[in-house]
Structure 1
Amino acid sequence: MKNANLWRKAARMSGVQTDFIDANKKLIKVPLPTLKAVVCHLNQKKIEHADPLKIIEERRERKIFRLISPVLLVHKDQVRSTVYLPENTDVRLVQVTLKKENGESHRVSPIFEKSQRIYKTTQGPYQRWQFSIKENLDVGYHQMFFQIGASEVKCLLLVPPKKRKMVPDKLQGLFAPLYAMHSSKSWGLGDLRDLNDLQVKAQSWGVDFIGTLPLLANFYEGPHKDISPYSPCSKLFWNEIYLYIPDLLPEGFKDLELQNKIQILNATAWVDYESVFRLKKNVLSQLAEEFFKNTLPEDYLLFLKEKPLVKEYAQFRSQGRETETQYHLYVQYHMERQMALVGKHLYLDYPVGVHPESFDCAYFSDYFLKSMSVGAPPDIMFTGGQNWGFNPLDPIHLRELHYEYFIQTLRHHMKKSCVLRLDHVMALHRLYVIPANSSADCGAYLRYNGDELFAIVAIEAYKNNVLAVGENLGTVPDMVQEYLLKYEISGMWLMVFEGGKNPTESIKKIPPKNLAAFSTHDMLPFAGFVKKENTSAWRRDFFEKSNADLFPKMMTKMAESPAEILLINIEDLWLEDRPQNIPGRSSFPNWQRKLKYSQEQWTSNPDFTDFIKRLKELRNTRRTHADDFEIGRLISI
């Protein structure tokens, strides 16, 4: 029993929850063997030789010997922290320098309050102090250097905005995966020209943005092949399969064989990634070869400066082969250019993780726990739990390295979007982790410093003028909802979950700082849902006899709702009943189905476009704004 208690204490000190509430609201205690495995993986110990008491002491001393926390949150111009100093240290000798984000630096005079607590360590006794300074700092990231004798510690100061920037209007967006948005100009799947063309047309209908799935680089060939947009090979580089190649071809270019291949790929109802990628890569490789034979343009050299990791990424993807390296440099250069042409009227999706063999896991290896994977505990649908296959971030190293990787990946997305959806936003607070060679039901929740991670999202959203949306669906800890409130990050409201027996009343009560939609890409669209579920109560509530008439009536009411964002699934316009993805169903061709109609067909149909215009008109007439409500009413808890 004593040993079990020590392991549980070691788990808590390692940031591992010893129990959790499952989807059925039942308290689940993590079995001791699972706790031991997770704790040992976190602390790089072999289970058979691990001593929980030693792990506890190492964790405690690691915190003490660092002297001060690596990251500090600044609220109301106050910096406060616990400081550990060798006993009898004269605090007047402690020097503190503040370096602002703009480069300015100056010495500050902190206030130290002595605690009576003394800690015995292997390097002698240490005393705990309370440290505070008052400083007016701009929103962003600043550095504090804490020096005593020859020791200097650098801290990252996070200054979140006191209030987010005002959203200009009640927003309305259209959603579809980019791979599914095909047109006569496409090469086997939707591309950035299709996205740009749709955006231009949709603006005339009152649409504020186009939403899609992650547009990040993927492995389409080789042993790590994975077409899922949620398993990218980097969160810092775009997916070249979405390049619109005709804009890159020399004037007068003609290739009948190529055109025949494109026509065949365009004629299919499902995306053939392997064939599309092979065809596009062949053309792009030739263009890259010609590009590097000539004098490199100034904007390419500027691109290299703005993307300092792109050479490392290209080397990683090419495994040192020069022509392959040039290919990856070339396609990333043009992805940046074409993404810039699309502009910021985009709703992008930020995935939780990356492929375990990704560039990110290799280059930022200190950030990842490669001996564990992320998943979800058992529930009604997945009785054995889920293993999503990617590695979790190490919460200790994440903080000690000042969240550099997380900040870079967020910024990569926010520079190209006006709305950013954070998939499984609970990951900023905790993740269910599974030790290597264990089944998915043998995992535990690993805690992160949610206060700091949500603050960083708020800072980046403020700096990049982006509306951040947290996907807070499913089992959501109360603390996550509180963070969303605190940092004014929008939540999500879905009709499939919240409609209930009286959907008209439910819609009226949508908390304003929310994105409202019928469902998500992981669920059945409207027509599929009503085929499966009994919607008689909904029809009665909306005074409609048929499901076909129910959808426009329901969307009309949602347009009139207080929600600051309305997201319309394009496929719901023609009552598509098939989903784009069925989680955990390997037999279903996920991420491959094209839209039923080409972009030319559906965007020229007045039944669809007039309906979208009407919804925007309704939103404009219901101008009660999310920022006009008291903070406590903004997101459901």
Structure 2
Amino acid sequence: MSTDKALSELADHYGILPRFRDLDRVERPTAPDTQKALLAANDVDVSTDAAIRDSLKLARRDRSTRTLPREVIVQSGRTTALTFPAIAPWSLRTDDTAEPLACGKPTEHLTLPPLPPDIYVLRIGSQEITILAAPDTLPQVPRQWGMTCALYGLASDRNAGLGDYEDLARTAEALGAHGAGFLGINPVHNMGYADHDTISPYSPSHRGYLNTAHIALDKVPGAARVLDEPTRAKLRNARTIPYRAHKSAHHAALETLHRTFRQGPKDAEFQRFKSGGGDDLLTFARFEALSELGGPDWRDWSGIAPEPANLQVDYHVWLQWHAAQQLAAAQSRALTGGMGLGLYLDLAVGPRRGGAETWCAQGSVAQGVSIGAPPDHLSPGGQNWMLAAYAPRKLRDQRYRPWRRVLAQTMAHAGIIRIDHVLGLYRSFWIPDDGSPGGYIRQPLDALTAVIKIEAARHGCAVIGEDLGLVPKGFRDTMRGHGFYGYAVMQYEKDAKGRFPDPARSPTQVLSCFATHDTPTVDGYATGRDIDWWEKLGWIDAARARAEHCKRAGEVSAVSKARPFATEVHDRLAVTNATLAAVQLDDVLQETETQNLPGTVDEHPNWQRRYDVKVDALRADNSLAEIAQMMQDAGRGPQEGPKNED
């Protein structure tokens, strides 16, 4: 066999797609160099022609010698007759315990008892099979409305310049009083204690732990003595959010509070949190402590102490404890304040490559590649998001533990979550570091979806899959069958003539909204603020800008013939068939600028805008009251939380 054929067979074995079609339907084959880079990312030796042939032999041998499947997905709560015999004595246990739940002798017909949602290990002789016992579908929710906002931008007279978890709780209470069912925010993943530069919540250090920058200092005992009001006022009054200054002052205050905490009596609740977090929590805290010595990117670490002092590790556990307490309190107050779902949290596509998540789960991460997107009409050069990817087979061998950790953290304090770029559960576009073209690799959709359903059942959480753009035929139907809600953005659903969709013809199993954090607000869209930015940045010339403004004006006037554009947009959201309708706080407050302008870093104030209206004034806001009445008139009143269909 030639080396090229051996390489192709090996690539197919590891799920690397041989080709894909771009938006212009042009077929793009996966180059041999790309195949090699993606195989190397999966720890497959392809360094020489001989190594390629040897790796293929190992793959074939593994396929031929294994007599039982590696994993099986079963429906939880039901007796399951397996399609293969127990050829040796067998035992069944949960993945996180050593004690067997059941065991037996060899048998031709092995039947599993009804299992609660979880991941199990079935051992037959020397072979182990992962059993994913998942509900048939994700939890479902009744018709309702809610609001999305930027947590970092929430303003109040008590925070330290950055919206915090107490602001979140108060905002949820204000919205609950108006009949809203949920409050959605940007991801609150951990951003890295030592990272003073990254501000995008979609470039986290670890998605399985929380952003401690949102800890409300005045809710930590003794905080009044560590951050004076003049310092708070200076941070709050800055034109845009002063991330660096906030982090410096916030850290100093928290470090002082921790010194006071450790000098007091042992706190039983803290000890329970620490013990419950297990080795995963301690490993993460160790990364944070090491990062204070070596910097936020572990790939640059050299010459630092291999073991930080226990005191440093304890401090970072303590920070996670306070963040988790405050986020849990926000969810509790949202529910008691009248919301059916409470918090609607966002799960980012992936972590930064040098952050805590890749350090903690090195055995599951693809090496030498980043997640991105192929070239299209919006980005002719493609997109490299500089985010890490999990290697499918590595993750399977870990029984999806890192993925479960991420899901559990996001769902623990939410009634509903949104998985960004849900197509990544089916396939991922990996861009090699060596300059080779990017390529797609298949993901274990059924297994990853089963894990999501397991965690969703455990936490009573509904799930939205962000499925914008082109997706493979049948993908959306498959995801709806699993119980995912789709994501319908009005700006992206215009027809070829620029007309917005008819609400009476909209799908049901979706969350409908006008905009995302990457698109113009209602006012920004109506005034063409995004077009102004394109011209300012030199992306289009003046003539093109005039043409785009003229086109936009026509689209807006076609919708708002009898009333203001914003009123028409919110009325359409209210009456749409969509189960879930989301309004942006930016639009309630008539903001013009978008939260983030894709394609920019410093040219636009991305992730830095603060809302002009303070949290405590929202309950009495007239625009909010009008929109809430519109929603109630359309039958989107207060509702109960998510329900499992099983």
- Please indicate the TM-score interval, normalised by the length of the shorter structure: 0.7 to 0.9
| Equivalent of 1:324 in 309, 312, 316 | 312
- 1:111 positional shift: 7.1
Matched, 1:275 2:245: yes
- Which position in structure 1 is the counterpart of 2:322? 334
Alignment of 1:399-438 (within 5 A): 399-438=396-435
Match of 1:128 in 2: none
Q: Deviations over 1:40-77 (max 9, x none)?
A: 34344253455443332222222344443332111575
| 2:381 equivalent in structure 1 | 384
The 5 A counterparts of 1:137-536 are 137-148=114-125, 152-167=126-141, 169-219=142-192, 221=194, 225-250=197-222, 253=224, 258-308=228-278, 309-319=280-290, 320-343=308-331, 345-438=342-435, 442-478=437-473, 480-500=475-495, 501=497, 506-530=502-526, 531=528, 532=531, 534-535=551-552
CA distance in 2, matches of 1:240, 1:58: 45
Instruction: Report the CA distance shift for 1:589/1:538 in structure 2 as closer, same or farther (over 3 A).
Output: closer
Taking a change above 3 Å as real, the CA distance of residues 383 and 374 of structure 1, as seen in their structure-2 partners, is: same
**Any conservation in 1 of the 2:222–2:257 contact (CA below 8 Å)?**
no
| Equivalent residue in structure 2 for 1:555, among 567, 570, 595 | 570
Counterparts of 1:328 and 1:558, CA distance in 2 = 42
- d(CA) in 2 for partners of 1:498, 1:415: 32
Q: Contact 2:588 / 2:624 at 8 angstroms: preserved in 1?
A: yes
SS of corresponding position for 2:635:
helix
- Could you tell me whether the CA contact under 8 Å between 1:292 and 1:326 is conserved in 2? no
Matches of 1:50 and 1:579, distance apart in 2 = 54
Other structure's SS at 1:307 match: helix
Q: Does 1:53 align with 2:53?
A: yes
Q: Cα gap change, 1:184/1:497 in structure 2, threshold over 3 Å: closer, same or farther?
A: same
Task: For 2:93 and 2:35, locate their aligned partners in 1 and report how far apart those are by CA, in whole Å.
Answer: 41
In structure 1, distance between residues paired with 2:583 and 2:432: 39
Among candidates 571, 574, 580, match of residue 595 of structure 2: 580
Q: Which amino acid aligns with 1:335?
A: A
Partner deviation per Cα, 1:447-482 (whole Å, 9 max, x = no partner):
111011112112221221111000111232235324
Note the residue ranges of structure 2 that are not aligned, 5 or more in a row.
291-307, 333-341, 532-547
Q: CA deviation at 1:541?
A: 5.0
Q: How far apart, CA to CA, are the structure 1 residues paired with 2:82 and 2:199? A: 46
What is the CA-CA distance between 1:403 and the residue it aligns to? 0.7
CA distance in 2, matches of 1:605, 1:377: 44
> 1: CA distance between counterparts of 2:94 and 2:237?
57
Q: Secondary structure at the match of 1:478?
A: coil
Inter-CA distance 438–589: structure 2 relative to 1 (3 Å threshold): farther
Q: In structure 2, what residue type is equivalent to 1:204?
A: A
Tell me the residue number matched to 1:618: 634
Contact 2:187 2:345 in 1 (8 A): yes
Contact 2:192 2:288 (C-alpha < 8 Å) held by counterparts: no
Q: 1:620 is paired with a residue of what secondary structure?
A: coil
Question: Secondary structure of 1:515's partner?
Answer: strand
Local SS of the residue matching 2:73: strand
C-alpha displacement of 1:323:
4.7
Deviations 1:549-586 (A, max 9, x none): 12212221221122111111110123322211123312
Q: Name the residue aligned to 2:535.
A: none
* 211 and 424 in structure 1: CA distance in 2 versus 1, 3 angstrom threshold: same
Do the aligned partners of residues 136 and 482 (structure 1) sit closer, same or farther apart at CA in structure 2, a change above 3 Å counting?
farther
Residues 217-250 of structure 1 deviation map (CA, whole Å, 9 limit, x = unaligned)? 113645x842221222212211111011012243
Structure 1: how far apart are the matches of 2:89 and 2:400? 25
Conserved? CA contact 1:524–1:579, under 8 Å: yes
How many pairs are equivalent? 589
2:228 and 2:19 mapped to 1: Cα distance?
58
Structure 1 unaligned blocks of 5 or more: 83-90, 113-131, 630-637
Per-residue CA shift, 1:469-499, capped at 9, x if unaligned?
A: 0011123223532431231111111101113
Name the CA distance, whole Å, in 2 between partners of 1:397 and 1:41. Answer: 10
How far residue 359 of structure 1 moved from its aligned partner, in angstroms, is 2.1
Q: 2:298 aligns to what? A: none
Quote the offset at 1:535 in angstroms: 4.3
Aligned residues of 1:43 and 1:55 also touching (Cα < 8 A): no
Name the residue aligned to 1:123: none
| Alpha-carbon distance in 2 for matches of 1:378, 1:61 | 38
Comparing 589-598 with 333-342, greater Cα deviation is found at: 589-598
Q: Which residue of 2 aligns with 1:122?
A: none
Contact 1:582-1:590 within 8 A present in 2 as well = yes
Q: Is the 8 A contact 2:180 2:638 kept in 1?
A: no
TM-score by length of 2: 0.84
Taking a change above 3 Å as real, the CA distance of residues 505 and 225 of structure 1, as seen in their structure-2 partners, is closer
Change (3 A) 1:239 1:38: same
Q: Is the 8 A contact 1:147 1:153 kept in 2?
A: yes
Relative to structure 1, the CA distance from residue 61 to residue 79 in structure 2 (aligned partners, 3 Å threshold; closer, same or farther) is farther
Cα separation, 2, equivalents of 1:513 and 1:414 = 20
Alignment partners' CA distance in 2, 1:5 and 1:584: 39
Q: TM-score, normalised by structure 1?
A: 0.85
Q: Does 1:593 align with 2:596?
A: no
Shift of 1:173: 1.4
Asked if the contact 2:560/2:568 (under 8 Å) is kept, the reply is: no
Give the % identical residues.
Answer: 21
* Closer, same or farther: CA 261–16 of 1 in aligned 2, 3 Å: same
User: What is the CA deviation profile of residues 281-308 of structure 1, one whole-angstrom value per residue up to 9, with x for unaligned ones?
Assistant: 1011001011011111111111112211
Q: Specify whether residues 269 and 602 from structure 1 end up closer, same or farther in structure 2 by C-alpha distance, changes over 3 A only.
A: farther
CA spacing shift, 1:79–1:536, aligned 2, 3 Å: farther
* In structure 1, distance between residues paired with 2:79 and 2:476: 25
Amino acid paired to 1:590: N
Corresponding letter in the other structure for 1:155:
I
1:96 corresponds to 2:90: yes
Distance 1:220 1:460, change over 3 A: closer
Give the C-alpha shift of residue 21 in structure 1.
1.9
- In 2, Cα distance between the equivalents of 1:413 and 1:455? 16
Distance 1:166 1:540, change over 3 A: same
* Kept in 1: contact 2:122–2:130 (CA 8 A): no
* Distance verdict in 2 for CA 1:398–1:41, change over 3 Å: closer
Q: Greater relative contact order (Cα 8 A, min sep 6): structure 1 or 2?
A: 2
